[in-house]
């Protein structure tokens, strides 16, 4: 699969120079189907040409999250085919390889999830949703904005220590993001306090390869309702009362409004 870069205009912090060097800094998170690594992408200083950014200039660097999907042979999790209902693979050779479960087919399948997340992040970023900016995708690796301070990743909502007011504000942000998804005809499909980050009071939605077209997927409404239940049950347990059925009704109104 060819390399693709994130949507333009690129944020000013993105390093696009061909002279950039990537350095591995460690593992941020391990998961059932992918691991996330911390990568520093840097342009080396070039004293001979200090004013020409494409060749380096004074040098600069940025931290990125590299999400690397594992193929079925090394993963202990297989995403449900229900998420993919309504999606079609254009390349018939790839489609046959995936069905046969060949080594090549497993790589194609892992790459499909990486590209699916890249395309979803690109679309949602352009719509203004709070998601990491997708920098680049190639094969089974997705490079994206690292959400955190220094080399410390932002905590997941499930791990964040929040006051009552902060909890209420996070609920508003989460449901605003869900409404924006619904207006785009989508549901996260696997939303929980474990794929929401909290960074300086801002909620960021992550883990998006399985995003569901609510109308195009036969189980779309079920996925949407499940997201509502997961979110409301977590916030209610933390002391912020909310109603999953009421939220579901609001999202359906956004969906068909």
Q: Which of 44-58, 129-143, 214-228, 240-254 has the lowest mean pLDDT?
A: 44-58
- Per the structure, the complete domain to which residue 176 belongs is given by 154-256
39 has which bridge partners?
A: 24, 64
Q: What Rg do the C-alpha atoms of the chain give, in angstroms?
A: 20
Mean pLDDT of 177-206: 96
Catalytic residue among 49, 165, 190, 245: 190
Residue 46 scores a pLDDT above 80: no
Catalytic residue among 207, 213, 243, 245: 207
Confidence grade of residue 99 (pLDDT, cut at 50, 70, 90): very low
Q: Are residues 139 and 165 in the same domain?
A: no
Q: Are residues 184 and 104 in the same domain?
A: no
Interatomic CA distance for residues 150 and 107, integer angstroms: 33
DSSP secondary structure string, 6-33? PPSSPPTT----TT-EEEEEEEEEE-SS
Active-site residue 176, yes or no? no
pLDDT score of 70: 83
Residue 62 scores a pLDDT above 60: yes
Q: Which of 37-41, 73-77, 192-196 has the lowest mean pLDDT?
A: 73-77
Among 124, 149, 174, the domain-final residue is 149
pLDDT score of 58: 59
Residue 168 scores a pLDDT above 60: yes
Confidence grade of residue 80 (pLDDT, cut at 50, 70, 90): low
Q: Give the residue carrying structure tokens 């109603």.
A: 243
Q: Give the residue carrying structure tokens 């080396």.
A: 44
Confidence grade of residue 90 (pLDDT, cut at 50, 70, 90): low
Beta carbons within 10 angstroms of residue 87's beta carbon: 13
Six token digits for residue 182? 């619904």
Q: Are 197 and 156 within 8 A, CB to CB?
A: yes
Q: Are 166 and 207 within 8 A, CB to CB?
A: no
Q: What is the mean pLDDT of the chain?
A: 84
Domain total of the chain: 2
Six token digits for residue 91? 């390349």
Confidence grade of residue 82 (pLDDT, cut at 50, 70, 90): low
CATH code assigned at 107: 3.30.200.20
CATH code assigned at 251: 1.10.510.10
Q: Are residues 96 and 29 in the same domain?
A: yes
Active-site residue 207, yes or no? yes
Share of the chain above pLDDT 90, in %: 67
Six token digits for residue 190? 């696997």
For residues 204-230, one letter each, b for 16 or more C-beta atoms within 10 angstroms of the residue's C-beta and e for the rest, the string is: bbbbbbbbbbbeebebbbebbbbbbeb
pTM: 0.82
Q: Are 149 and 244 within 8 A, CB to CB?
A: no
């Amino acid at each position: 699969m060819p390399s693709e870069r994130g949507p333009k205009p690129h944020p000013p912090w993105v390093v696009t120079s061909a002279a950039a060097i990537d350095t591995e800094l460690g593992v941020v998170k391990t998961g059932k189907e992918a691991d996330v690594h911390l990568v520093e992408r840097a342009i080396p200083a070039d004293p001979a040409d200090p004013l020409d950014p494409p060749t380096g200039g004074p040098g600069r660097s940025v931290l990125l999250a590299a999400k690397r999907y594992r193929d079925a042979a090394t993963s202990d999790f297989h995403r449900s085919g229900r998420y993919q209902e309504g999606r079609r693979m254009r390349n018939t050779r790839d489609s046959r390889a995936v069905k046969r479960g060949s080594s090549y087919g497993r790589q194609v399948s892992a790459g499909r999830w990486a590209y699916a997340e890249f395309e979803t992040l690109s679309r949602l970023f352009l719509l203004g949703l709070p998601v990491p900016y997708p920098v680049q995708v190639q094969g089974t690796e997705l490079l994206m904005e690292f959400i955190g301070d220094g080399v410390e990743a932002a905590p997941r909502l499930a791990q964040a220590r929040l006051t009552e007011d902060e909890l209420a504000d996070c609920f508003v942000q989460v449901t605003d993001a869900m409404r924006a998804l619904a207006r785009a005809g989508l549901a996260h499909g696997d939303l929980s306090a474990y794929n929401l980050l909290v960074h300086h009071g801002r909620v960021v939605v992550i883990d998006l390869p399985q995003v569901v077209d609510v109308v195009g997927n036969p189980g779309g409404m079920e996925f949407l309702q499940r997201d509502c239940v997961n979110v409301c049950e977590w916030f209610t347990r933390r002391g912020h009362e909310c109603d999953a059925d009421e939220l579901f009704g609001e999202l359906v109104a956004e969906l068909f409004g």
